[in-house]
């Protein structure tokens, strides 16, 4: 069932949200659709990013229910004198798709990055993830650069 005009609250994630985020991510970042290791979701991704930069992990709530999350980090390249923000994971409960939840999460994340002095925001996704690419274009991202992953089976 698609939700219409849900009341959405964006807030920083807390420790109790981690398993909810992980299980929502399992539904959103499926191995079939996002098939390389780099983009394969696991619990260590959530816990280590929460350990490193908890302020840069946001959740979207509808009522008391977590229906989306944004997880990222600030990367300071001291030698280059540049500060990057990386939005690593953005996920929305499919039932709440196209209700503006992703947009609200992104807008809050972007504010956090600006407050941290970020000069350039970076996102990445697979080339065939049309919804994500449309979403990021809608948010003003441009200049896509192609990146090739290769595999060598050892077993
Ligand atoms: C990408 C994603 C986060 C978008 O979340 P969302 O809450 O559905 O997005 P919004 O409702 O805020 O959409 C904002 C705009 O993005 C674009 N957009 C979002 N989903 C789209 C889709 N499926 N097809 C085309 N455009 C889309 C539209 O321009 C939309 O504006 P509109 O609804 O007024 O046309 C969500 O589809 C998702 O969780 N995808 C799976 C995980 C993923 O790929 N994450 C991104 C890489 S980390």
Domain residue limits, the chain: 13-137
pLDDT value for 9: 97
| Cα distances (angstroms) measured from residue 67 to each of 80, 85, 148 | 37, 23, 32
Q: With cut-offs at 50, 70 and 90, classify the pLDDT of residue 127.
A: confident
Contact 85, 73 (CB under 8 A): yes
Q: How far is it, in rounded angstroms, from Cα 116 to Cα 94? A: 31
Classify domain 13-137 at the CATH superfamily level: Gcn5-related N-acetyltransferase (GNAT) (3.40.630.30)
Contact 87, 121 (CB under 8 A): yes
pLDDT tens digits, 50-104: 999 999 999 999 999 999 999 999 999 999 899 999 999 999 999 999 999 999 9
Q: Which residues pair with 71 in a beta bridge?
A: 57, 89
pLDDT value for 89: 94
Over residues 1-14, the mean pLDDT reads 82
Best CA proximity match to 110, nearest among 121, 102, 101: 121
pLDDT value for 31: 62
pLDDT value for 1: 56
Q: Atom 16, ligand 1: which residue's CA is nearest?
A: 135
Q: Give me the percent of the chain exceeding a pLDDT of 90.
A: 69
Instruction: Tell me, in angstroms, the distance from the centre of ligand 1 to residue 51's CA.
Output: 27
Q: Does 98 sit in the ligand 1 pocket, CB within 6 Å? A: yes
pLDDT tens digits, 114-124: 999 999 999 99
Rg (CA), the chain: 16
Instruction: Tell me, in angstroms, the distance from the centre of ligand 1 to residue 75's CA.
Output: 25
């Amino acid at each position: 069932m698609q939700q219409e005009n849900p009341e959405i609250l964006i807030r920083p994630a807390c420790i109790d949200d981690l398993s909810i985020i992980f299980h929502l991510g399992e539904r959103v970042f499926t191995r079939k659709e996002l098939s390389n290791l780099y983009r394969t979701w696991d619990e260590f991704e959530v816990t280590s990013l929460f350990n490193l930069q908890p302020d840069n992990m946001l959740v979207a709530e509808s009522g008391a229910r977590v229906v989306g999350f944004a997880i990222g980090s600030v990367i300071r390249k001291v030698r280059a004198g540049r500060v990057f923000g990386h939005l690593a994971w953005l996920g929305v409960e499919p039932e709440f798709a196209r209700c503006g939840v992703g947009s609200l999460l992104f807008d809050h994340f972007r504010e956090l990055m600006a407050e941290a002095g970020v000069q350039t925001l970076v996102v990445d996704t697979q080339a065939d993830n049309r919804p994500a690419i449309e979403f990021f274009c809608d948010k003003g991202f441009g200049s896509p650069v192609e990146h090739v992953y290769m595999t060598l089976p050892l077993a």
